[in-house]
Amino acid sequence: MEDTELTRSDLLRRISDYLFATYRWACMDSPTGLEPKPLGLSIDLLEYQRLHHPLYAKYCEMNGRNSRGVSLLDYPPLPVECFKRADVCPFPPDLAIAEFRSSGTTSADRSIHKFRDTGLLQRAIFYTFTMFIARIMSPKTRVLSLMPAYEDNPHSSLGYMLTQLVRNLGGDGSGCFFSMNSGLDTDGLLDALDHAQKDNVPVHLMGPAFSYVELLDKLDGRTFSCAPGSCLLETGGYKGRSREIPKSELRDALSNALGIPRRAIYGEYGMCELTSQAYEICALNTRGPLPDEGLFTFPMWMKCILYDPENMAPVLPGNKGQIALFDLCNLDSAAYLLTGDIGIMEPLDENLRARVPGHPKFALRLLGRAGNATPKGCSMSWEEWASKT
């Protein structure tokens, strides 16, 4: 146990150092070729989890992975479904200081992701948001969240992230305008928008699609002229909470109602099973011409690989596949996950690549959920698997 803790402590230090080095490199717009190198850190983490995380160890054994690999492709991505069915985090419950759960109709179909500490989580939130969004944000910007504050809903990873951004990056007048008891605080939000407009201070709205639909309904044709520099994060889905509006129509309606340019409306891709997030390429992180909407880029400590759901073979960029995400910050759970999403990795041309933080060669286009089909590589039923653990 002592050796395991020493290994974990060393990994935590190395991951933290790498995150800061890549954050600094990206924020300085340093050229490709000078970026920090992980020096085997990804494989060291996966090997640590193969040896010391019982659930992932069993999954590797089932997939014939019984020795140290040399690349991510040598390790099987763990289906996110496992977070709903078993304890993926192999530490005693009393060590957990945060516990996030996915949305779901019952407690039985909700993923649970526990954290021993929030150090890497905090770094992932602030480094990524600063790199991709906040570098050109005025320090006076009022951050307005359409989600409950973390204390009001302590199991929401999105609520945790937005609360951190409101309290640490928002100027005077920032706040959370949603209550678990009474829902969206429309009056308070409209009042905050009105004051920001009168003060000519930019706002940064953040929330899920269903909250914006409710806001638009309550506006009832009223419009604002948000100050230059205002922007809007639209993330999450509807979860049956409101009528659904196609993304393009929703963004058009929000732009028209609030006076925020479409170029400054962007999305975020994350999930409770991950620690880090991806952000959409938009005017906040890319100077000059923009690609079509809906392309997401990742911080350097995340990797995205697509698999053919029929045979679990990796697919080349430009081809549709099931999304697997590696997150170096998932130290105490599972770093390599097979999501239930389908996407395409699209190549970025050199001019665009040079203008996006981190100079990524590819960006992810989300195509939706994978449906009920289970990849053949994960086709063993949970009951069959559980009987072997």
302-339 confidence digits (pLDDT tens) = 999 999 988 899 999 999 999 999 999 999 999 999 99
Percent of the chain topping pLDDT 70: 92
Residues 340-366, mean pLDDT to the nearest whole number? 93
Stretch (H or E) spanning 166: helix 157-169
Final residue before a domain boundary, out of 266, 290, 317 = 266
CATH of the domain at 238: 3.40.50
- Co-location of 261 and 377 in the same domain: no
The whole-number pLDDT of residue 287 equals 82
Between residues 257 and 182, the one the model is more confident about: 257
The whole-number pLDDT of residue 289 equals 85
Instruction: Tell me the three-class secondary structure of 5-41, residue by residue.
Output: HHHHHHHHHHHHHHHHHHHHHHHCCCCCCCCCCCCCH
Tell me the pLDDT tens digit for each residue of 8-24: 999 999 999 999 999 99
- Co-location of 258 and 304 in the same domain: no
**325 in a domain, yes or no?**
yes
CATH of the domain at 43: 2.30.38.10
Between residues 47 and 371, the one the model is more confident about: 47
Residues 218-244, mean pLDDT to the nearest whole number? 85
Quickly state the pLDDT bin for 107 (edges 50, 70, 90): low
- Co-location of 128 and 260 in the same domain: yes
The whole-number pLDDT of residue 75 equals 97
Listed range (79-93, 181-195, 234-248, 313-327) with the worst mean pLDDT: 234-248
**Sequence-separated (6 or more) residues with CB below 8 Å from residue 48:** 7, 8, 11
- Amino acid (1-letter code) at residue 10: D
**283 in a domain, yes or no?**
no
- The per-residue DSSP string of 291-332 comes to --S-EEE--TTEEEEEE-TTT--B--TTSEEEEEEEETT-TT
- Residue 249's SS3 state is helix
The whole-number pLDDT of residue 329 equals 98
- The domain containing residue 46 runs over which residues? 2-90+300-347+366-386
- Co-location of 232 and 318 in the same domain: no
Tell me the pLDDT tens digit for each residue of 115-145: 999 999 999 999 999 999 988 788 899 999 9
**103 in a domain, yes or no?**
no
Listed range (55-64, 84-93, 97-106, 178-187) with the worst mean pLDDT: 97-106
- Co-location of 145 and 75 in the same domain: no
Stretch (H or E) spanning 339: strand 336-347
- Co-location of 74 and 133 in the same domain: no
- Which tokens hold the place of 297? 């880029």
Percent of the chain topping pLDDT 90: 75
The whole-number pLDDT of residue 137 equals 84
Give, in order, the Cα–Cα distances in Å from 168 to each of 29, 126, 179, 262, 379: 24, 9, 20, 26, 44
Q: What is the mean pLDDT of the chain?
A: 90
- pTM of the model as a whole: 0.91
Number of domains in the chain: 2
Backbone angles phi, psi at 187, to 5 degrees: -60, -45
Final residue before a domain boundary, out of 266, 286, 312 = 266
**274 in a domain, yes or no?**
no
Tell me the pLDDT tens digit for each residue of 268-290: 999 999 999 999 999 888 888 88
